[in-house]
Structure 1
Amino acid sequence: MNRPKMMAWLLVSAALAAPAPGLTAPVESSPAAQAQAQSATSPIRLTRHTPAFWRVTFSNPPLNITGPAEIRRLAQIVDQIEADASVKVVVFDSAVPGYFMAHYDLLKPLEDSTGMAPGPTGLHPVPDLMVRIARLKAVTISSIRGRASGIGSEIVLATDMRFASRERAVLSQFEVGAGFAPGGGPMARLPRLVGRGRALEILIGADAFGGDLAERYGYVNRALPDADLDAFVDGLATRIASFDRQAIADTKRLVDQASLPPDQEMRAGWDAFITSVQRPAAQARVQALVARGLQQPGELERDLNQQTAKYRE
């Protein structure tokens, strides 16, 4: 593998890129028609079940890999949520069996991740996206079925509530096992959710957490039987969507004041990531993973946390 691709791989939680196929302006002049056409052709779909209840579905088989184009699409969706006075609750889920989101697209050119302008918060686009999701007036809920690793874990941590399939959810921050620090904010969020010791176990142990253990630690709100997950999440979302929007927003704003990390913590995590991914030791670990099948369907991606532990310097 050549050096530019290797360096690009290391930017696991990268920024915006050129528009993906299917994101060019459709022929219809109606904004609603344009948004519907865009969502239908995107690896991230936006569905409006009702004016108050929306769903964001990751649909990028076989692994739900998310790269610069998908980050751009997510930012567009957040724009729409922020601008719509009707939406009260948004569910994030996956249409890809086995994967909520495997991790970031690790083989994009380096310049796709380093040359982007900051987002609306002034942060690099990846932590910017995490901050904006957390601060939405609408309630956000992650429905986790399959593997949510790296940036997948960071996105669910940015949402307000997390519900996991007891049998099929796998959450992890695998990055330390690959030789670098996570970049999408888990160092800022996990200690507030699970406590310092458990946060360090998740981040530095870099192991996988099934639904039951994730629930016990506070990584997720609840683990439910897989057969019950969809009905539970949709029922909760429908219940919230029936409530007064201003009461929801006021309550969430005060909880956010008491619990969300300040932006400088998110920025510091990103800076640590950028520094760590450039070290030769990190590059060597990543190269070994690529040679063994990283980002391809198969054993390595299914068992990424254990596979990172097999590297020997």
Structure 2
Amino acid sequence: MLPAIGLSGQVKPAAKKTDGLSASTPQPEAGRTQIRIDKRTPAYWRITFDNPPFNIFGPDTIPQMEKVVVEIETDPNLRVVVFDSAVPGFFLTHYDFTPPLEQSTKLPSGRTGLHPLPDMLVRISKAPVVSIALIRGRATGVGSELALACDMRFASREKAILSQWEVGAGFVPGGGPMARLPRLMGRGRALEILLGSDDIDGELAEEYGYVNRSFPDTKLDAFVDALAGRISGFDRQAIADTKRLVDYASLPTDPEIGAGWDAFISSVQRPVAQKNIGRLMEMGLQTNRDVEERLGHYTANLAER
């Protein structure tokens, strides 16, 4: 019998025997603040994900993220935001598989008419503010999709890992990477990322165009801070107009993004996906640090069982 998977509408899984790595892993606190805003200047903000142990994104994250996106859209002085993480080893990871499916599907549509998650990603892309992802640690699933929605992405050469792991578990990514990745790196490389479902390090991510540039970890923060500070001193209207014109030439349409979410919701309920997610939960998905850190390895093992 498979362990219960929240996205199937069943009850949460019972505690499982593991290799010991998850036994001492603290669990996220319900209702805690998962996202912080550091307004370094009126024009330059750092937005930090802080939901230990793994920065998992779930339906309880969505209202907090919505407030952040509204602030980005409406502050008249803001010019640039940098998304980063306070959780060692994890930028932002995959969607939470423990809450019941209806906690996600019952959420009202966002301003674009899309589900709140793809809605917020679209709005970040189209906001009159420059968005930069500073990637240190794993950007898996939603983390990769947020990075792709940002205007620029910079990664730690040693510590960044990006991935769209979903096909390896039998379902479709929901945050729009099928629409965004081919525009960044071409069809073949996009399909390699999506269908290979493997981990991509910072150096290869730069070579493929997944990120703008990768840096030695010790130099990443200084570069991003200097770039964000430089942009924040420029005229806001010139920034917004230039970005809007680039958007015309480069962004996918809202229906393209929405189609990915619809496919995710349908595919995650299929028997093969339920079986594979169940196996991953047995291995320690969301509880075992080794599984979260080497998700590409564990999804590859699904085919062997």
Q: Return the TM-score normalized by structure 2.
A: 0.90
- Inter-partner Cα distance in structure 2 for 1:2 and 1:194: 38
* 1:182 alignment partner in structure 2: 173
Q: Which moved more, 1:92-101 or 1:263-272?
A: 263-272
Deviations along 1:165-210, one digit per CA (max 9) or x if unpaired, are 0000000000000110100000000000000000000000001100
* 1:165 alignment partner in structure 2: 156
Contact kept, 8 Å, 2:5 with 2:98, in 1: the verdict is no
Deviation for aligned residue 1:270: 1.4
2:256 aligned to which of 243, 262, 265: 265
Letter in 1 for 2:6: K
1:308 aligns with 2:305: no
| CA shift in 2, pair 1:8/1:98, >3 Å | farther
- Inter-partner Cα distance in structure 2 for 1:6 and 1:70: 16
| CA shift in 2, pair 1:50/1:6, >3 Å | closer
* 2:185 alignment partner in structure 1: 194
2:207 aligned to which of 216, 219, 238: 216
Matched residue of 2:210: which SS?
coil
1:87 aligns with 2:87: no
What are structure 1's unaligned runs of at least 5 residues? 10-19, 23-41
After superposition, residues 46-195 of structure 1 pair within 5 angstroms as: 46-195=37-186
> How many pairs does the alignment contain?
284
Deviation for aligned residue 1:298: 2.3
- Inter-partner Cα distance in structure 1 for 2:164 and 2:113: 25
2:31 aligned to which of 8, 21, 24: 21
Contact kept, 8 Å, 1:150 with 1:174, in 2: the verdict is yes
Contact kept, 8 Å, 1:4 with 1:110, in 2: the verdict is no
- Inter-partner Cα distance in structure 1 for 2:199 and 2:81: 26
Matched residue of 1:148: which SS?
strand
Deviations along 1:59-98, one digit per CA (max 9) or x if unpaired, are 1111111111212111111101111110000000001100
Q: Which moved more, 1:87-96 or 1:105-114?
A: 105-114
Letter in 1 for 2:184: L
Matched residue of 1:68: which SS?
coil
1:298 aligns with 2:299: no
1:282 aligns with 2:273: yes
- Inter-partner Cα distance in structure 2 for 1:299 and 1:54: 32
- Inter-partner Cα distance in structure 2 for 1:57 and 1:129: 16
Runs ≥4 residues deviating over 2 A: 1-6
- Inter-partner Cα distance in structure 2 for 1:92 and 1:183: 20
Matched residue of 2:159: which SS?
strand
- Inter-partner Cα distance in structure 1 for 2:58 and 2:37: 18
| CA shift in 2, pair 1:80/1:213, >3 Å | same
Deviation for aligned residue 1:297: 3.5
Deviation for aligned residue 1:8: 5.0
Letter in 1 for 2:31: P
Contact kept, 8 Å, 1:294 with 1:301, in 2: the verdict is yes
Q: Return the TM-score normalized by structure 1.
A: 0.88
Letter in 1 for 2:188: G
Letter in 2 for 1:159: C
| CA shift in 2, pair 1:163/1:251, >3 Å | same
